[in-house]
Chains A and B, each alone.
Chain A
Amino acid sequence: AQTVTQSQPEMSVQEAETVTLSCTYDTSESDYYLFWYKQPPSRQMILVIRQEAYKQQNATENRFSVNFQKAAKSFSLKISDSQLGDAAMYFCAYRSGNQFYFGTGTSLTVIP
């Protein structure tokens, strides 16, 4: 069974600093995608970044990047130059076929 684990329920970062959110997953499949979603206090979940399992190059979207370690089944999110608007719940997700599997989330606080 596929599982996604986020071991940090809460994290905090100083504004302008860098923070890394951890995610591990378990799967026996070889073809899949990984995603990070952000849920601000207003609730709507939005896609931050995605990574294809076959691509060795880590995905980057502006200040957001991932560290994808396929052998270790690790998919961490790095947020550089943190801003107040980055405060949110962050969910790691794995897609196999038409189903997504989510972690339990990490609540990120940004300290001014």
Chain B
Amino acid sequence: DVKVTQSSRYLVKRTGEKVFLECVQDMDHENMFWYRQDPGLGLRLIYFSYDVKMKEKGDIPEGYSVSREKKERFSLILESASTNQTSMYLCASTFSGLNYGYTFGSGTRLTVV
């Protein structure tokens, strides 16, 4: 069964901590994405990557960075966590080609205290 795996379901971190959210897919997808999901705001794109070592800013990249050293792994980094980064974080991946949908991970609920 194909999968996108996010390393943690729940995380609690302190303000100012550096936080790593990991996402691994086993489908050989070229494209990987990080979203945050907040009630009433839907899904907002943080960063995405079309290939290894490539990254592009999404709609809300401030306070975040990413790393893609291997095709299957896409990491989201909160350089200095703040309370307004408390959210649900979703990783997704897909092939290039319009007819492909996303495969999503299960999400990480991050709470910054």
On whether the beta carbons of A102 and B43 are closer than 8 Å, the reply is yes
On whether the beta carbons of A47 and B43 are closer than 8 Å, the reply is no
Assembled-state Cα–Cα distance A9/B101 (Å): 23
Binds A, one of B13-21, B65-73, B76-84, B103-111: B103-111
On whether the beta carbons of A102 and B42 are closer than 8 Å, the reply is yes
Asked if B2 is an interface residue, CB under 8 A from chain A, the answer is no
Smallest CB gap from A6: residue in B: B42
Assembled-state Cα–Cα distance A105/B45 (Å): 15
On whether the beta carbons of A98 and B96 are closer than 8 Å, the reply is yes
Selected from A9, A44, A97, the residue in CB contact (under 8 A) with B106 is A44
B contact residues, total (Cβ < 8 Å): 22
* CB within 8 Å of A: which B10-36 residues: 31, 33
What are the residues of chain B within 8 A of A35 when measuring CB–CB? 101-102
CB distance from A46 to the nearest CB of B (A): 7
On whether the beta carbons of B43 and A32 are closer than 8 Å, the reply is no
What are the residues of chain A within 8 A of B45 when measuring CB–CB? 99
Assembled-state Cα–Cα distance A45/B106 (Å): 7
On whether the beta carbons of A98 and B50 are closer than 8 Å, the reply is yes
Assembled-state Cα–Cα distance A42/B106 (Å): 8
Asked if A81 is an interface residue, CB under 8 A from chain B, the answer is no
On whether the beta carbons of B98 and A104 are closer than 8 Å, the reply is no
On whether the beta carbons of A44 and B98 are closer than 8 Å, the reply is no
On whether the beta carbons of A91 and B42 are closer than 8 Å, the reply is yes
On whether the beta carbons of A100 and B98 are closer than 8 Å, the reply is no
Binding site for A on B (CB under 8 A): 31, 33, 40-43, 45, 48, 50, 88, 90, 92, 94, 96, 98-99, 101-102, 104-107
A-B residue pairs, 5 tightest by C-beta: A104-B42, A45-B104, A47-B101, A102-B43, A43-B107
Task: Give 25 CB contacts A-B under 8 Å.
Answer: A31-B98, A32-B98, A33-B101, A35-B102, A37-B101, A37-B104, A43-B106, A44-B104, A45-B102, A45-B104, A46-B104, A52-B99, A91-B43, A95-B98, A95-B101, A98-B96, A99-B45, A99-B48, A100-B92, A100-B102, A102-B42, A102-B43, A104-B41, A104-B42, A105-B42
